[in-house]
Copies of this chain bind each other. A is one copy, B any other.
Amino acid sequence: MKISFLAIGDELLSGRVAEANGKYLADQLSLSGLEMKFMLLAGDDAQEIITAFNFLQQDSETIIVSGGLGPTPDDLTIEVFAKYAGLELEFAPEIMEKIDLRFKLRNLATPAANKKQALIPKGAKIIPNPLGTAPGIEAKFQNHFFLFLPGVPGEFKKMVDDFVIPRLRELASDKKSLAVKTLRTYGLPESGIADRMSKIHFDSRLKIAYLPELPEIYLRLSALLKDQTEALQIVKTGAEQIKAELKEYVFSEDDEPMELAVGKLLKNRGLTLATAESCTGGLLAKKLTDIAGSSDYFLGGFITYSNQLKTKELGVSAELLEARGAVSDEAARAMAEAARDRSSADIAIAITGIAGPSGGTRDKPVGLVYIALADKKGAWSQRFQFLPWSRAAVRELAAETALEIIRRRILGLRMPGEKS
Q: Write the residues of chain A forming the contact surface with B, with a CB cutoff of 8 angstroms.
A: 9-20, 22-30, 35-44, 48, 51-52, 55, 58-59, 70-72, 74, 108, 111-114, 131, 133, 152, 154, 182, 190-192, 194-195, 198, 207-214, 218, 220, 222, 275, 277, 279-286, 288-290, 292-295, 298-306, 308-309, 312-313, 342-344, 355-358, 387, 389, 391-393, 395
CB <8 Å contact, B41 and A39: yes
Q: Give bound CA distance, A19 to B279, whole Å.
A: 28
Assuming the contacts A285-B281, A299-B309, A309-B300, asked whether A71 and B111 have C-beta atoms less than 8 A apart, the reply is no
CB <8 Å contact, B12 and A26: yes
Chain A: interface secondary structure? mixed
- Chain A to chain B: the 10 pairs with minimum beta-carbon distance, closest first: A281-B289, A15-B27, A282-B285, A282-B282, A15-B26, A39-B41, A301-B303, A300-B309, A282-B286, A111-B195
Contact of A113 among B13, B20, B59, B198 (CB under 8 A): B198
CB <8 Å contact, B299 and A114: no
Output the least CB separation between A53 and chain B (Å): 12
Q: Note all chain B residues with C-beta closer than 8 A to A292.
A: 355-358, 391
Q: Give bound CA distance, A290 to B44, whole Å.
A: 32
Q: Note all chain B residues with C-beta closer than 8 A to A357.
A: 292
Q: Note all chain B residues with C-beta closer than 8 A to A212.
A: 152
CB <8 Å contact, B289 and A286: no
Q: Note all chain B residues with C-beta closer than 8 A to A112.
A: 195, 198
Known: A74-B209, A275-B303, A300-B302. 6 other contacts (CB 8 A): A10-B207, A13-B37, A14-B222, A16-B182, A281-B286, A302-B303
Q: Give bound CA distance, A3 to B185, whole Å.
A: 36
CB <8 Å contact, A26 and B13: yes
Q: Which of A113, A222, A279 has the most CB of B within 10 A?
A: A113
Q: Give bound CA distance, A249 to B41, whole Å.
A: 31
Q: Which residue of the partner chain B has the closest CB to A14?
A: B30
CB <8 Å contact, A111 and B298: no
Contact of A36 among B13, B52, B210, B289 (CB under 8 A): B13
Q: Give bound CA distance, A212 to B299, whole Å.
A: 35
Q: Give bound CA distance, A27 to B17, whole Å.
A: 9
Q: Which of A12, A28, A357 has the most CB of B within 10 A?
A: A12
CB <8 Å contact, B190 and A70: yes
Q: Note all chain B residues with C-beta closer than 8 A to A209.
A: 9-11, 14, 16, 44, 74
Q: Note all chain B residues with C-beta closer than 8 A to A391.
A: 290, 292
CB <8 Å contact, A211 and B281: no
Q: Which residue of the partner chain B has the closest CB to A195?
A: B111
CB <8 Å contact, A48 and B38: yes
Q: Note all chain B residues with C-beta closer than 8 A to A23.
A: 12, 15, 17-19
Q: Give bound CA distance, A23 to B22, whole Å.
A: 13
Q: Which of A11, A24, A44, A207 has the most CB of B within 10 A?
A: A11
CB <8 Å contact, B10 and A15: no
